[in-house]
Amino acid sequence: MRIGIIGCGAIANIIISNITSEDSGIDVVYFFDSDIERAENLAELANGIAVLDFKDMLNDVDLVLECASPDSVKTYAPTILEHGCDMIIMSIGAFMDKEFYMKALKIAKDNNARIHLPSGAVVGLDGIKAVANFNLEEVNLVTRKSPKSLGKDINTEEVLFEGKASDAVKKFPFNINVAATISLACNQDINVKIIVDPKVDRNVHEITVRGDFGEFKTTTMNYPCSTNPKTSMLAALSAIKLLKSFNETISVGM
């Protein structure tokens, strides 16, 4: 499978450093970034090709992996899907815009393309998907990050946001894509609290789900990426696992 990457930052660098075509059947060939130097550096590392225009990769890839920004999804995904290329999208917050979601869905269906949204920086999506249609009374996400991760200069704990996921992704587009992933998995605009906490050095996501099935809670205490503290390492690792799973005969879990 031939892949092109859009966005050559923290997630892309972890993916390239941890995936080989021998163990995955994946060839990451093209690299695009608004900063061409970043695309060139990563292309050099991966023995690939940096492109000045994302369209230059579309005739030669099976799948485009977006790890750039929610705006980039809205700008590039329609053209990519029209080409019949599959996509993995990390900036999942873009899909909380219902109109855009429906548009992307239609283009993908019309062009026989698939859109994959990895579990990213949280655990528990398997369970959330399983119980989604069984009368959920409560789905909550509490995210706790350091001032560095949230770009704040404060030394006391503070609730920065309390509300719905659809608002959270607008106010914190680079910190709370996981709220969109959970919302899409259970088909609800979930409740989100974002806390800046000087006592933590992890990106912590606590999910609580309650309904007819019972209740579960998951806590993910992520190490942030060294080059981008907003982003957890697990986000990149989940994309790597998803890429490798395309080549599996037996798949375990969801």
Ligand X SMILES: NC(=O)C1=CN([C@@H]2O[C@H](COP(=O)(O)OP(=O)(O)OC[C@H]3O[C@@H](n4cnc5c(N)ncnc54)[C@H](OP(=O)(O)O)[C@@H]3O)[C@@H](O)[C@H]2O)C=CC1
Residues known to be catalytic? 205
Asked if residue 179 binds ligand X (CB under 6 A), the reply is: no
Task: Classify burial at 247, counting beta carbons within 10 Å of its beta carbon; exposed 0-12, middle 13-18, buried 19 or more.
Answer: exposed
Closest CB 250 distance from ligand X, rounded Å: 26
Of residues 51 and 144, the one with the C-beta less far from ligand OAA? 144
17 Cβ partners below 8 Å, 6+ apart? Answer: 45
Asked if residue 176 binds ligand OAA (CB under 6 A), the reply is: yes
Contact residue for ligand X among 5, 10, 46, 104 (CB under 6 A): 10
Contact residue for ligand OAA among 235, 237, 240, 243 (CB under 6 A): 235
Of residues 174 and 246, the one with the C-beta less far from ligand X? 174
Of residues 107 and 121, the one with the C-beta less far from ligand X? 121
DSSP of 46-110? HT-EE-SSGGGGGGG-SEEEE-S-HHHHHHHHHHHHHTT-EEEES-GGGGGSHHHHHHHHHHHHH
Closest CB 174 distance from ligand OAA, rounded Å: 6
Asked if residue 121 binds ligand X (CB under 6 A), the reply is: yes
Asked if residue 190 binds ligand OAA (CB under 6 A), the reply is: no
220 Cβ partners below 8 Å, 6+ apart? Answer: 121, 122, 123, 124, 204, 205, 206, 232, 234
- Of 177, 180, 137, 144, give the one whose Cα is nearest residue 161: 144
Contact residue for ligand OAA among 13, 69, 119, 175 (CB under 6 A): 175
> Taking CB under 6 A as the criterion, which residues in 70-129 touch ligand OAA?
120-121
| Distance from C-alpha of 233 to C-alpha of 134, rounded to nearest angstrom | 32
Asked if residue 67 binds ligand OAA (CB under 6 A), the reply is: no
- Residue 61 contacts which entry, ligand X, ligand OAA, none (Cβ below 5-8 A, type-dependent): none
Phi first, then psi: what are they for 166, rounded to 5°? Answer: -60, -35
> Taking CB under 6 A as the criterion, which residues in 192-251 touch ligand X?
228, 231, 235
DSSP structure class, residue 223? P
CA angle (109 as vertex; 73, 62 as ends), nearest 5 = 65
Contact residue for ligand OAA among 64, 96, 178, 192 (CB under 6 A): 178
Contact residue for ligand X among 3, 5, 11, 81 (CB under 6 A): 11
201 Cβ partners below 8 Å, 6+ apart? Answer: 146, 224
Closest CB 230 distance from ligand OAA, rounded Å: 5
| Distance from C-alpha of 190 to C-alpha of 209, rounded to nearest angstrom | 10
Asked if residue 177 binds ligand OAA (CB under 6 A), the reply is: yes
- Of 10, 2, 12, give the one whose Cα is nearest residue 57: 2
Q: Which residues bind ligand X (CB under 6 A)?
A: 6-12, 33-35, 38, 67-72, 75, 90-92, 120-121, 174, 177-178, 181, 228, 231, 235
Q: Which residues bind ligand OAA (CB under 6 A)?
A: 120-121, 174-178, 203, 222, 230-232, 235
